[in-house]
A and B are shown apart, each in its own frame.
Chain A
Amino acid sequence: MDRRRFLAGTATAIGAIVVLPLGTASATPEAMAGAIRKVVGASQVREGRVSLDLPPLVENGSTVPLVVSVESPMREADYIKAIHVFNEKNPQPNVFTARLGPRNGRAVVGTRIKLGDSQKIVAIAETSGGQFWSASADVIVTLAACLDEAT
């Protein structure tokens, strides 16, 4: 990407953030902000209720354990219906979208992700009432000294 296109993109992202009060997304690159906007629409994203458990220092970015937990009664009247995870530096901003309901009992999802570089990860939970809550984490990916060059 050349500098001009980068600047133009940044300007678009900043413009969008001014229009849509995205809260936590304000410091993220355009692609992640765009992906988040697609999910939350014009809704406000508030920080809180979500906890994002990731090692702060990752020994190898190819397999990074991650657990997202959301405070919720998980009853018919009030539950978490989706958990979305985004990253800012991988080739694509979406990591996963999990859909849940009262039958899960707990709004907790664990998996393992790939991180191409040190970056910010954002988790957004969507409640049955249409609210969005979020958490973010900065992850440092250390580089291995002797990479597998044979394969």
Chain B
Amino acid sequence: MANVLVNAPKTAKRGSIVEIKALILHPMETGFRPGPNGRIIPRNIIERFTATWNGTEIFDMEMSPAIAANPFVSFFAVASESGTVGLRWTGDEGFVVEERVAIAVE
């Protein structure tokens, strides 16, 4: 059950700088913790978070097990033209989640 919370302005002035914040439900299991049976719980993390603006990559983050569970990322972008911000999380065990938000630039 993928669950994402994205916060970005719906409208922005051309050339202004907007903040984009994203939260995603994910355990970020480090691969260093023993489970109840004493064995190490296998690593299960998001390795990469990528943001695009109308298809062009504008931000990318390589994550490690040191990123907290339910990862939160905030970054900025220049509102160059109206369009879609695409966010993509990929990680262990074939984890892929994509989310899109529209921003109208006037």
Contact = CB atoms under 8 A, between A and B. Distances in A.
A63 B68 contact: yes
Contact of A98 (B61, B71, B72): B61
A94 B64 contact: yes
A113 B68 contact: yes
Interface string B8-44: 0000000001000100000010101000000000000
Main secondary structure of the interface of B (DSSP, over half): strand
Interface residues of B, number: 28
Interface string A93-113: 011111111111110111111
Given A98-B75, A109-B74, A103 B66 contact: no
A92 B77 CA distance: 30
Q: For chain A, which range describes its interface: under 10, 10 to 19, 20 to 34, or 35 or more residues?
A: 20 to 34
B73 A111 contact: yes
A72 to B, nearest CB: 12
A95 to B, nearest CB: 4
A111 B77 contact: no
B82 interface: no
A87 interface: yes
Interface of A: 62-65, 67, 87, 90-92, 94-106, 108-115
